Amino acid sequence: MADPVTALLRCAPPETAHRASIALVRLARPFLPAASADSPMLGISVLGLHFPNPVGLAAGYDKDGEVPDAMLKLGFGFAEVGTVTPRPQAGNPRPRLFRLREDRAVINRMGFNNAGQEALAMRLATRPRRGILGINIGANKDSRDRIADYRAGFERLAGLADYVTVNVSSPNTPGLRGLQNRDDLLTLLTALQQERARQETATPLLLKIAPDIDAGAMDDIAEVCLETGIDGLIVTNTTIARPKTLQSRFADEAGGLSGAPLFQPSTEVLKAMRTRLGTRLVLIGVGGIASGADAYAKIRAGASLVQLYTALAYEGPGLVARIKRELATLLARDGFQQLKDAVGVDVS
Q: Is there a domain that residue 160 lies in?
A: yes
* Res 156 pLDDT > 90: yes
Q: Is there a domain that residue 268 lies in?
A: yes
* Res 173 pLDDT > 70: yes
Beta bridge partners of 109: none
Q: Is there a domain that residue 347 lies in?
A: no
pLDDT in tens, 271-328: 999 999 999 999 999 999 999 999 999 999 999 999 999 999 999 999 999 999 999 9
DSSP string of 30-75? GGPPPPPPPPGGG-EEETTEEESSSEEEPTTSSTT-SSHHHHHHTT
For the chain, the helix, strand and coil percentages under 3-state DSSP, each to the nearest 5: 45, 15, 40
Q: Which residue has the higher pLDDT, 37 or 43?
A: 43
* Res 128 pLDDT > 90: no
Output the pLDDT for position 172: 72
Alpha-carbon distance values, 207 to 26, 161, 168, 180, 210 (Å) = 29, 15, 8, 10, 10
Average pLDDT over residues 150-177: 91
Output the CA angle 130-170-300, nearest 5 degrees: 65
DSSP string of 108-175? E---S-BS-HHHHHHHHHTS---SEEEEEE---TT-S-HHHHHHHHHHHHGGG-SEEEEE---TTSTT
Q: Is there a domain that residue 118 lies in?
A: yes
Output the CA angle 157-86-13, nearest 5 degrees: 100
Output the pLDDT for position 216: 93
Residue 13: pLDDT band by 50, 70, 90 thresholds? confident
* Res 54 pLDDT > 90: yes
Q: CA 259 to CA 106: how far, in whole Å?
A: 6
* Res 348 pLDDT > 90: no
Number of domains in the chain: 1
Output the pLDDT for position 130: 86
Average pLDDT over residues 77-99: 97
Q: Which residue has the higher pLDDT, 81 or 23?
A: 81
Average pLDDT over residues 16-45: 89
Q: Is there a domain that residue 348 lies in?
A: no
* Res 106 pLDDT > 70: yes
Q: What percent of the chain has pLDDT over 90?
A: 84
Q: CA 225 to CA 207: how far, in whole Å?
A: 8
Q: CA 319 to CA 312: how far, in whole Å?
A: 7
Among residues 198, 205, 201, which one has the least CA distance to residue 229?
Answer: 205
Helix (H) / strand (E) containing 275 = helix 263-277
* Res 179 pLDDT > 90: no
Q: Is there a domain that residue 336 lies in?
A: yes
Cis, bond preceding 88 (omega within 30 deg of 0): no
- The single residue of 143, 169, 170, 304 carrying the catalytic annotation is 170
Q: CA 333 to CA 25: how far, in whole Å?
A: 35
CATH code of the domain containing 98: 3.20.20.70
* Res 270 pLDDT > 90: yes
On average, the pLDDT of the chain sits at 94
Average pLDDT over residues 12-39: 87
Q: Is there a domain that residue 283 lies in?
A: yes
The set of residues, in sequence order, having a beta carbon less than 8 Å from that of 320 and lying 6+ positions away, is 55, 74, 75, 76
Q: Is there a domain that residue 280 lies in?
A: yes
Q: CA 193 to CA 175: how far, in whole Å?
A: 23
Q: CA 253 to CA 96: how far, in whole Å?
A: 9
pLDDT in tens, 208-259: 999 999 999 999 999 999 999 999 999 999 999 999 999 999 999 999 999 9
Among residues 334, 173, 176, 165, which one has the least CA distance to residue 235?
Answer: 165
Is residue 169 annotated as part of the catalytic site, yes or no? no
Domain hosting 277: range is: 4-342
Output the pLDDT for position 2: 62
Q: How many CA atoms lie within 13 A of 200 on its CB side?
A: 0
